């Protein structure tokens, strides 16, 4: 629906500009700087308006997903947290020490269901589902004899450094999460073309990445609440 509205708005705007050009040509009058500035302001106002519509659509979608998780999937979330009950306090401590939001405890929920041995078909491994090259770039040993992605503490420290690096690039957690899923180069490209917010680029991302970010936002509050209720949000000393 939003795409249709965007298309309709721009077609109307295009039609008005064509009509305006014809009038100018028929009168043999050149458009003034003021006319061009007004056109620019009109387009800017339209873009801002459409951006607000996109942002509102994201909020509505997140609200729907959150309700769905609470009503239909809360038991699943609790079982995933149960999987990680021995490591969540350690991860919580690391996040706090690195001044990162504790809501990031929801990342391993989505990535691995807090299963330390989780492995993807693409080669991602461990709680944080790090790819071999990413793990190595943040100091983990990954070879035939040793794979430190399976070490909850070392892999968490690597994931934390990766997340901090992404945040230094984007300064926006939604874009960080999109980058964590799809790769930062892909997100940088989308941002350069479509704007520097998730709302701007979400429809140009792979569906999996779009859902990844929306699902994280939807479950983060619920997961944080369950973890707190279970007393797992304590710094491990």
Active site residues: 111
Q: How far is CA 198 from CA 32, 117, 128, 212, 216, in A?
A: 37, 31, 22, 12, 13
Contact 224, 102 (CB under 8 A): yes
Using the structure block, give the residue that is written with the tokens 């997140």.
62
Positive or negative: CA dihedral 171, 177, 182, 183: positive
Gap between the Cα atoms of 78 and 91, Å rounded: 17
Distance CA 223, CA 211 (A): 17
Give the C-alpha separation, 207 to 229, whole Å. 33
């Amino acid at each position: 629906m939003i795409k249709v509205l965007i298309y309709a708005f721009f077609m109307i705007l295009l039609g008005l500009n064509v009509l305006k050009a014809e009038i100018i040509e028929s009168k043999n009058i050149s458009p003034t700087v003021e006319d061009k500035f007004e056109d620019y302001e009109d387009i800017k106002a339209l873009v801002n308006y459409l951006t607000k519509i996109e942002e509102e659509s994201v909020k509505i979608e997140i609200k729907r997903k959150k309700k769905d998780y609470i009503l239909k999937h809360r038991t699943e979330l609790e079982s995933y947290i149960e999987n990680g009950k021995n490591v969540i306090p350690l991860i919580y401590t690391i996040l706090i020490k690195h001044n990162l939001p504790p809501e990031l405890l929801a990342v391993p929920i989505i990535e691995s269901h807090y299963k330390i041995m989780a492995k993807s078909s693409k080669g991602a491994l461990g709680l944080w589902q790090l790819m071999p090259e990413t793990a190595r770039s943040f100091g983990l040993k990954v070879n035939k004899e040793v794979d430190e992605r399976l070490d909850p503490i070392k892999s968490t420290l690597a994931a934390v450094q990766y997340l901090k690096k992404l945040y230094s690039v984007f300064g926006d957690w939604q874009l960080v999460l999109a980058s964590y899923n799809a790769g930062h180069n892909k997100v940088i490209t989308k941002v350069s073309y479509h704007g520097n917010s998730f709302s701007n680029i979400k429809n140009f991302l792979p569906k999996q990445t779009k859902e990844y970010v929306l699902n994280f936002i939807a479950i983060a509050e619920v997961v944080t609440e369950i973890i707190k209720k279970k007393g797992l949000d304590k710094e491990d000393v």
